[in-house]
């Protein structure tokens, strides 16, 4: 009989919103969304170790490692659902900027769910994991699925799409973040002139049409999120040859879509400035996954 796992290490990719539309208000006041989401090659590194207690550590990060952390909430949700009287020591080495709209916290939560499922042999299905993830945060189900997806509702209605056309992303994170609740509150006050055609973007992805994907891109939260540099960063990326540029999620990160590596890297060099974080990324075809397990 094989010994039980004692430790698992995972990678969990960040995400970009290739499009984001607000299409209504659901019961309870939540916003109904229509989005195309893409996992990218920037990863949170999450390690889980069996423990009698629930402990979370974030070495080198300013994120608070308390009960409000999404990874902590994911662990609680997993133990409550499975009924396991157990614990876990969670160590997260963060790479994704905070308040960027890149889903770092959701990636952490997804990694915890995948890791605990393996660590304790719970054998929960992806459907069960996504339902648990949805109870933790709107972007967690996508972080579990990864790849390229059309995401609707509260983030709980997910349709896997073919891989997006081959491209590169240059992502610029200014020296400040944006609060997601504040961005949606502002949307409720002022609305948005931008409503991307997510169905057209899905069709472009299915056709392998990068210009069509870029033509249909847009983010309904851009105007109201209040990012002081959003418009200028988008224009700078376009000036550097991006085929499309927009803010991801509720901000503050802005990205350009390039059809080759060289112009993407040139744009990264051109936009480098004190206080900014810049990443040159590829599409990733997966979600949170185990890269090492120890017995």
The Cα–Cα gap between 160 and 222 comes to: 25
Q: Which range (3-7, 47-51, 246-250) has the least confidence?
A: 3-7
The Cα–Cα gap between 199 and 162 comes to: 14
pLDDT band at 1, cuts 50/70/90? low
Q: DSSP letters along 111-127, please? A: HHHHHHHHHTT----HH
Q: Which range (63-67, 92-96, 159-163, 259-263) has the least confidence?
A: 63-67
Nearest to 169 by CA among 244, 77, 222: 244
The Cα–Cα gap between 73 and 295 comes to: 26
Q: By 3-state DSSP, what share of the chain in percent is helix, strand and coil, each rounded to 5?
A: 35, 30, 35
pLDDT for 6 equals 96
Would residue 139 show up in a list of annotated catalytic residues for this protein? yes
CA distances from 204 to 200, 207, 216, 279 (A): 6, 5, 8, 25
pLDDT for 28 equals 81
pLDDT band at 131, cuts 50/70/90? very high
Backbone angles phi, psi at 29, to 5 degrees: 85, 5
Nearest to 257 by CA among 209, 292, 223, 220: 209
**pLDDT per position as a tens digit, 155-174:** 889 999 999 999 999 999 99
The Cα–Cα gap between 70 and 94 comes to: 13
Contact 164, 206 (CB under 8 A): no
Nearest to 142 by CA among 288, 261, 24, 251: 288
pLDDT for 165 equals 97
**pLDDT per position as a tens digit, 54-63:** 999 999 988 8
Contact 244, 232 (CB under 8 A): no
Catalytic option among 15, 73, 94, 234: 15
pLDDT band at 123, cuts 50/70/90? very high
pLDDT band at 26, cuts 50/70/90? confident
Percentage, residues of the chain above pLDDT 70: 100
pLDDT band at 64, cuts 50/70/90? confident
- What is the sign, positive or negative, of the torsion defined by CA atoms of 233, 234, 239, 242? positive
Nearest to 216 by CA among 196, 231, 242: 196
pLDDT for 294 equals 95
Q: Kindly state the average pLDDT of the residues 254-283.
A: 97
DSSP H/E element including 54: strand 54-57
pLDDT for 287 equals 98
Q: Kindly state the average pLDDT of the residues 263-282.
A: 97
Paired strand residues for 9 = 47, 292
Structural tokens at position 223: 């105007």
Catalytic option among 21, 34, 108, 139: 139
């Amino acid at each position: 009989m094989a010994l039980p796992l004692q430790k698992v290490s995972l990678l969990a990719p960040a995400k970009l919103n290739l499009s984001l539309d607000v299409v209504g208000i659901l019961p309870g006041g939540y916003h109904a969304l229509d989005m195309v989401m893409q996992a990218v090659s920037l990863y949170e590194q999450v390690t889980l170790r069996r423990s009698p207690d629930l402990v979370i550590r974030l070495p080198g990060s300013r994120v608070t490692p308390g009960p409000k952390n999404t990874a902590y909430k994911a662990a609680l949700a997993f133990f409550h659902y499975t009924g396991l009287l157990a614990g876990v020591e969670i160590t997260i080495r963060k790479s994704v900027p905070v308040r960027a709209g890149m889903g770092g916290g959701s990636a952490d939560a997804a990694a915890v769910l995948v890791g605990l499922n393996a660590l304790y042999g719970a054998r929960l299905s992806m459907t069960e994991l996504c339902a648990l993830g949805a109870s933790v945060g709107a972007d967690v189900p996508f972080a579990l699925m990864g790849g390229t997806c059309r995401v609707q509702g509260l983030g709980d209605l997910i349709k896997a799409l073919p891989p997006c056309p081959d491209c590169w992303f240059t992502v610029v994170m200014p020296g400040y973040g944006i609060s997601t609740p504040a961005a949606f509150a502002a949307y409720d006050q002022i609305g948005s002139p931008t409503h991307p055609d997510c169905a057209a973007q899905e069709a472009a992805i299915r056709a392998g049409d990068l210009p069509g994907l870029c033509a249909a891109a847009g983010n309904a939260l851009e105007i109201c999120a209040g990012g002081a540099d959003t418009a200028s960063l988008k224009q700078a990326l376009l000036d550097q040859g991006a085929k499309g540029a927009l803010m991801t999620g509720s901000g503050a990160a802005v990205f350009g879509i390039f059809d080759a590596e060289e112009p993407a890297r040139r744009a990264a060099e051109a936009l480098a400035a004190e206080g900014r974080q810049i990443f040159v990324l590829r599409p990733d075809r997966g979600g949170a996954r185990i890269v090492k397990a120890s017995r």
